Amino acid sequence: MKKIELYDTTLRDGAQAEEVNFSVEDKIRIALKLDELKIDYLEGGWPGSNPKDFQFFKEIKDYHLKHVRVVAFGSTHHPRKTPETDEIFQSLLQAKTEVVTIFGKSWTIHVKEALKTTLEHNLEIIENSVRYLKGHVSKVIYDAEHFFDGFKEDPEYALETLKRALKAGAECLCLCDTNGGTLPHEIREIIQRVKDVLGEKAPLGIHAHNDSECAVANSLEAVRLGAIQVQGTINGIGERCGNANLCSIIPNLVLKMGYDVSAKDVLFKLTEVSRYVFEIANLPHPARLPFVGRSAFAHKGGVHVSAVLKSPRTYEHLDPALVGNVRRVLVSELSGRSNILYKAKELGIELDTESALVNKIVEEIKKLEAEGYEFEAAEASLELLIYKLMGEPKQYFELLTYKVFDQKQLLDSSQAEATVLVRVPPGVGEVEHTAALGNGPVNALDNALRKALVRFYPQIREMELEDYKVRVLPGLPGTSSKVRVFILSKSKDKRWGTVGVSTDILEASCQALIDSYTYKLYLDKKKRS
């Protein structure tokens, strides 16, 4: 089993993604998490480019990293300076990392137009830069920027840049598809020609971008051709369309191609790491991400479900537990008894396989789905519904009435106000009548309901609504349509989805809100008992 090095650039190239902005604290937390995943190299930033990156290199030294080696990133020295006089280049050493990566120009148009120097001088710059660093740090990785585009333009020159970096002592020559336009068959042809010139044993790496939606395939091709290092980011974030996605590359290398990577012992952490990084980056985690997404092992149709339950490989390319993900059986209009039994078991509810109750639940779900409900993502509403049909309803409060008022005058903003009347506990308890404003009618209703409940259940403060979605259902024309509201809520250690349906968006929202607050109170009660 050949060993492949994993090199993560989430904190550098990943941070160049639109809408991503890591604080120093974010970077530290991600670094510690990637250490748990046994990533080999972690590119922390470009110390010469901004003070935040420099601060990261300073602070990370206070942590004991078990596996990962932190890497400072920068470019070859300035064409009108030397390694000694170029301050930005010098800052690479001030980061005090054992490993440094620098990129250099492989493409003649970039040498002429960006560096504004001669082709020969660029070769000297590469050689000088690598050699100087080799005198100060233990390992130098050379990123050949735009290597594939440069090769297509002038193969001789692109190859010469690699020879110079190698001659000066670079331990790895990482071939970069900076613009992301290269296709897998071109990767094969070009890397083969590189090996013809530099030899079978040339220490190559691959750094791919996803502009052609081939970054993962390109990385795997390079490994098959002998590359020893793969650079990428968690979930593939990065400039434009992103970088090669390590969360797909790692399981492909380990589980399908039989390579050895350090992360293979902790592969079951992959899904957790993937979600953690996006949580820190404040990005929604795309449901259909391969291997780690919420939908990656989700089965909808009844035929698929019964096949998967008998023999998972009939509709799964691998066991989700290997990457820390879970199989999800979606309860939908296509589902039957087997879906419900599976789901109940997952929720820790004991149901007798043969009981009439299972049929009753299936019938009720079908009826509600015909009305427009969907329980695929609203598992909390489903669980509350099952308890209700079992004759053990969870009910901690009763909403007696709500009134919502919204108005707008010509050029002013609109104004929304809600009042609610809530009884706790239901049927017999005390009545709270309160009111709240909001930036829209749904928000006003939510604020009023929360305000009323907090008086009785202060733990409501521990939860928040993370996402709110509205789907207009087909059937009725225009604005008289039914809507389905989906709410995702979270507390410290748990997320849950709830659903509501009505022609009135406030009524639909109210159902989903009541389920959401009820579920929080139910979780607390279960924890205490």
- Nearest distance from C-beta of residue 508 to its own copies, angstroms: 8
DSSP conformation class of 3 = B
CB-nearer residue toward its own copies: 97 or 212: 212
CB-nearer residue toward its own copies: 353 or 413: 413
Q: Cβ distance 235 to 244 under 8 Å? A: no
CB-nearer residue toward its own copies: 65 or 334: 334
Helix (H, G, I), strand (E, B) or coil at 413: coil
- Nearest distance from C-beta of residue 32 to its own copies, angstroms: 17
CB-nearer residue toward its own copies: 169 or 338: 338
- Nearest distance from C-beta of residue 507 to its own copies, angstroms: 4
Q: How far apart are the first and last CA of the chain?
A: 50
Q: Cβ distance 209 to 236 under 8 Å? A: no
Q: What are phi and psi of 55, to 5 degrees?
A: -60, -40
105: number of Cβ within 10 Å: 28
Nearest Cα to 364, choosing from 338, 333, 395? 333
CB-nearer residue toward its own copies: 50 or 355: 50
CB-nearer residue toward its own copies: 124 or 211: 211
Query: If residue 5 lies in a helix (H) or strand (E), which one and from where to where?
Result: strand 5-8
Q: Cβ distance 486 to 471 under 8 Å? A: yes
List C-alpha distances in Å: 449 to 137, 442, 499.
61, 11, 17
- Nearest distance from C-beta of residue 529 to its own copies, angstroms: 29
Radius of gyration of the chain (CA): 28
Q: Cβ distance 117 to 79 under 8 Å? A: yes
- Nearest distance from C-beta of residue 193 to its own copies, angstroms: 18
Nearest Cα to 484, choosing from 379, 369, 389? 369
Q: Is residue 78 classed exposed, middle or buried when 0-12, 13-18 and 19+ CB atoms within 10 A define those classes? A: middle
CB-nearer residue toward its own copies: 195 or 300: 300
CB-nearer residue toward its own copies: 84 or 113: 113
Measured over the CA atoms of residue 301, residue 302, residue 305 and residue 306, the dihedral's sign is negative
CB-nearer residue toward its own copies: 67 or 112: 112
- Nearest distance from C-beta of residue 358 to its own copies, angstroms: 24
- Nearest distance from C-beta of residue 24 to its own copies, angstroms: 8
- Nearest distance from C-beta of residue 406 to its own copies, angstroms: 5
Rounded distance between C-alpha atoms, residue 397 and residue 144, angstroms: 64
DSSP conformation class of 426 = T
- Nearest distance from C-beta of residue 352 to its own copies, angstroms: 26
Residue pointed to by tokens 């750094």:
207
DSSP conformation class of 168 = T
Measured over the CA atoms of residue 144, residue 149, residue 150 and residue 155, the dihedral's sign is positive
CB-nearer residue toward its own copies: 170 or 500: 500
- Nearest distance from C-beta of residue 426 to its own copies, angstroms: 11
CB-nearer residue toward its own copies: 125 or 168: 125
- Nearest distance from C-beta of residue 234 to its own copies, angstroms: 13
Which residues have CB under 8 Å from 191's CB, separation 6+?
A: 175, 204, 221, 222, 225, 226, 227
* 89-95: long-range pairs with CB below 8 Å, 24+: 89/48, 89/129, 91/47, 91/48, 91/54, 92/47, 92/48, 92/133, 93/133, 93/136, 93/137, 94/47, 94/54, 95/44, 95/47, 95/54, 95/57
Kindly state the tokens that stand for 447. Answer: 């604020």
